Amino acid sequence: MEYRQLGSTDIRVSTITLGSMTWGMQNSACEAFEQLDYALDKGINFIDTAELYAIPPTAETYGKTETIIGQWLAQSGQRQNIILASKVCGPTAWVPHIRQGKARLTRQQIVQACEDSLKRLQTDYLDLYQVHWPERPTNFFGRLGFEPDSVNFSQDTDITPIDETLSALHELVQSGKVRHVGISNETPWGLMQYLSAATERDLTRIVSIQNPYSLLNRSFEIGLAECAYREHVGLLAYSPLGFGMLSGKYDNGALPANGRITLFENYQRYRTAEGIAATHAYSALAREHGLDPAQMALAFIRAQPFVTSVIIGATNMQQLTSNIASADLNLSGAVNEGIQRIHKLHPNPCP
């Protein structure tokens, strides 16, 4: 397993992160424990979760993933051997069970959310605490381009300033409850605002950004990659397999039992006509070179110089074993050339 520096910190994290959002919904606690034990045995030291999880979000599963991880930590005694990351929700009108649908990125709510996560996780500190998504309306969660009509300058005073959000995160760092902070589902403007606020107000500097990045969505490369690379803000790439599409298991219209797209019909972000065409091309390329499609997709993401770690998730041990094995795969020049050809034909089909 390769390890990379997390931003400008002295922490080195595995290039594969174990994601956890299925634990408590598609996976039981017992299955989660098995995944955690196996991942650590294979050299993974980075575990990512969030107060929102399990997914899909419901009142019954809110915080359940963190609770499962906390139980594992209490039983295993492995806290000192892992880098543990969690996230605080942005506005939650679409998930009304979280803070009555009125979540904000204010000091009070961030501090309380962190305290609640620590209790569920049965730990005194988080290595990385991230803002799950912005409070302001902007292009994230499947929206590729910025829409000026979404901005109402007269209402901006009702949006929690990034300065206040970062000040709250800084307070958590100063208290010892959080070691480092990051952002997620952010734009280049948002990233630079956090960095500017840190410099101007002598606050904790963000060290990571967790955004979607896959063969089906390389939009991070357009504006964020340069910002992240020059500013030493590492990308933690989520959805590297596009809800499992890039594994090839949904090829030719297949709907395998227990697949996320099979179980949750509204999860169609990566199952557009353009996405299906691109996926078919990538699957064919992988098989032409004798590669597993999922491993090829993960190896491509891992190889990018602005990526710190690739967040994988699995609902069974066979998937997990295969995905972790991608850490040993280095793509040939011919494969990379093939990927670029397909990308030119199907650029960012699933933002």
- pTM above threshold 0.75: yes
Q: Does 155 have pLDDT greater than 70?
A: no
> Which residue among the candidates 3, 38, 53, 250 is catalytic per the annotation?
53
Known catalytic membership, residue 53: yes
In the chain, the DSSP E strands lie at 3-5, 12-14, 16-19, 46-48, 83-88, 126-131, 178-184, 206-212, 234-238, 307-312
DSSP three-state, residue 5: strand
DSSP code per residue over 278-341: HHHHHHHHHHHTT--HHHHHHHHHHTSTTEEEEEE--SSHHHHHHHHHGGG----HHHHHHHHH
**pLDDT one-digit tens code per residue, 308-325:** 999 999 999 999 999 999
Helix axes 188-201, 224-231, angle to 10 degrees: 30
Looking at residue 255, its pLDDT comes to: 72
pLDDT band at 258 (very low <50, low <70, confident <90, very high): confident
The rounded Cα 102 to chain-centroid distance in angstroms is 23
Pairwise CA distance, residues 262 & 279, whole Å: 17
Question: Among 120, 134, 121, which residue's Cα sits nearest to residue 92?
Answer: 134
Of residues 77 and 261, the one with the higher pLDDT is 77
Distance CA 9, CA 181 (A): 11
Average pLDDT over residues 9-29: 97
> Which letter does DSSP use for residue 18 in this model?
E
Of 285, 211, 212, 282, which is closest to residue 250 (Cα–Cα)?
282
Place of tokens 């999922």: 294
The number of beta carbons lying within 10 Å of the beta carbon of residue 317 is 12
- 179: helix, coil or strand? strand
Query: What pLDDT does 60 receive?
Result: 97
Q: Cα separation of 267 and 60, whole Å?
A: 19
* Confidence check: pLDDT of 75 > 80: yes
Mean pLDDT of all residues belonging to the chain: 94
pLDDT band for position 66 (cuts 50, 70, 90): very high
Distance CA 206, CA 194 (A): 7
- Domain map (residue ranges) of the chain: 3-244+308-329
**Architecture category of domain 3-244+308-329 in CATH:** Alpha-Beta Barrel (3.20)
Question: At CA 109, angle to CA 104 and CA 114, rounded to 5?
Answer: 125
Query: In this predicted model, what pLDDT tens digit does every residue of 83-140 receive, in sequence order?
Result: 999 999 999 999 999 999 999 999 999 999 999 999 999 999 999 999 999 999 887 8
How far apart (Å, rounded) are the C-alpha atoms in residues 22 and 32? Answer: 9
The Cα 320–Cα 40 span in angstroms is: 12
Phi/psi of residue 134, nearest 5 degrees: -65, 160
